[in-house]
């Protein structure tokens, strides 16, 4: 049975999972040290793994590999840049091998490994092609084609938050463009769009009573029929649907998975996206299902470990 570690490097903490076969045996966390442009992060991870292994009688010589998810684009197994952490053209494998010897150290973007994790979680479905969205502070994504995560020419495959979808009154996006999916479908975008709609109308809304409301508040208000909140949710879902119709015409997946904090809204999100999707998509793709992500915060460690499976 293959033994591997899945390591999900985040801006605040690094989650580490130890797997035997498909089974997550144990997980632990180290803090992300941002000093010196993240120079200590990999050392900290390696030391935590060495400690864990010695405490659990695991022989690191028998480990098949180490998969890493990192918050930035990867080209040829090198991190191009990680603004949150400070890495630029950073060779994680080389650094890791200073502490733990392994030829099999593989990297992918964090949203990509989350996609791989969700794909793994659906292994009984016999899907080959999956599109994963993560709706959080931003909107990310990952794409599995023929059971393999794709990375693209510049490590940018699955940057689904930066599909241009809104052309009238389009908001500026962090990426430098305008009207990207992220501006209407991220937690931040949902709150911003709600604030704009509140400002532009006099319609009653329970959102007016809160000084600082969240994307969750917007969904909760929509669930009880608040008109402004409903409009924000409908708009978000319409643009997710248009983006998905574009994605379907490009890669024709077996399934769309919606993940990230915003996806905790649940059925209202799936049902509303699906309603618009069938309006915009070609007949051939109308039945492609939308499902909620299953693994939550563990998707990254599962997916990072999955990199080693293939």
Choices 29-37, 152-160, 208-216, 256-264; region in contact with a copy of itself by CB under 8 A: 152-160
- Are 302 and 16 spatial neighbours (Cβ–Cβ below 8 Å)? no
**Would you state the structure tokens that stand for residue 290, as one six-digit string?**
């939308």
Choices 7-15, 88-96, 215-223, 252-260; region in contact with a copy of itself by CB under 8 A: 252-260
Q: Which is nearer to a copy of itself, 129 or 192 (CB)?
A: 129
Is residue 206 a contact point for a copy of itself (CB under 8 A)?
Answer: no
Among 142, 139, 113, 110, residue whose Cα is nearest residue 129: 142
In angstroms, give the least distance from the CB of 289 to a copy of itself.
10
DSSP one-letter code for 132: E
Q: Which is nearer to a copy of itself, 86 or 164 (CB)?
A: 164
Q: Which residue reads 């593989």 in tokens?
A: 106
Q: Using the rule CB under 8 A, which residue among 105, 243, 301, 308 binds a copy of itself?
A: 243
Choices 2-10, 32-40, 123-131, 259-267; region in contact with a copy of itself by CB under 8 A: 123-131
As a whole number of angstroms, the distance between CA 283 and CA 87 comes to 44
Beta strands in the chain (DSSP E): 3-9, 13-20, 23-31, 65-70, 74-75, 78-82, 87-90, 105-109, 130-135, 139-145, 148-149, 255-259, 290-292
As a whole number of angstroms, the distance between CA 191 and CA 48 comes to 38
Is residue 175 a contact point for a copy of itself (CB under 8 A)?
Answer: yes
Is residue 99 a contact point for a copy of itself (CB under 8 A)?
Answer: no
Distances in whole angstroms, Cα of residue 12 to Cα of each of 32, 61, 259, 302:
5, 30, 20, 19
Q: Using the rule CB under 8 A, which residue among 86, 156, 261, 296 binds a copy of itself?
A: 156
Is residue 126 a contact point for a copy of itself (CB under 8 A)?
Answer: no
Is residue 88 a contact point for a copy of itself (CB under 8 A)?
Answer: no
Per-position x/- string for 66-85, each x denoting binding to a copy of itself as judged by CB under 8 A, each - no binding: -------x------------
As a whole number of angstroms, the distance between CA 22 and CA 77 comes to 23
Binding footprint of a copy of itself on the chain (CB under 8 A): 73, 127-129, 143, 145-146, 148, 150-164, 175-177, 180, 242-243, 245-254, 279-285, 288
């Amino acid at each position: 049975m293959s033994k591997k570690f899945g390591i999900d490097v985040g801006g605040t903490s690094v989650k580490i999972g130890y797997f035997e076969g498909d089974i997550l045996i144990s997980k632990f966390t180290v803090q992300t040290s941002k000093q010196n442009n993240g120079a200590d992060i990999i050392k900290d991870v390696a030391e935590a793994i060495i400690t864990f292994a010695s405490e659990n009688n695991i022989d690191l010589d028998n480990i098949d590999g180490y998969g890493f998810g990192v918050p930035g684009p990867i080209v040829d197994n090198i991190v191009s840049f990680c603004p949150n952490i400070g890495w630029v053209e950073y060779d994680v494998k080389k650094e890791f091998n200073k502490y733990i010897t392994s030829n099999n150290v593989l990297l992918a973007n964090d949203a990509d490994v989350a996609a791989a994790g969700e794909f793994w979680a659906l292994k009984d479905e016999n899907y080959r092609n999956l599109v994963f969205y993560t709706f959080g502070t931003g909107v990310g994504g990952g794409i599995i084609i023929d059971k393999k995560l794709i990375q693209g020419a510049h490590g940018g495959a699955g940057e689904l938050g930066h599909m241009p979808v809104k052309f009238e009154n389009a908001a500026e996006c962090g990426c430098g463009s305008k009207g990207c999916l992220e501006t209407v479908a991220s937690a931040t975008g949902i709150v911003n769009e709600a604030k704009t709609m509140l400002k532009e109308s006099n319609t009653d809304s329970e959102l007016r009573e809160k000084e600082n409301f969240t994307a969750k508040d917007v969904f909760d208000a929509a669930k009880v029929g608040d008109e402004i909140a409903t409009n924000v949710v409908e708009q978000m879902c319409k643009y997710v649907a248009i983006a998905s119709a574009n994605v379907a015409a490009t890669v024709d997946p077996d399934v769309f998975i919606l993940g990230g904090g915003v996806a905790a809204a649940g059925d209202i999100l799936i049902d509303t996206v699906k309603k618009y999707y069938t309006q915009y998509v070609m007949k051939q793709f109308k039945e492609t299902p939308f499902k909620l992500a299953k693994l939550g915060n563990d998707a990254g460690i599962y997916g990072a470990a999955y990199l080693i499976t293939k």
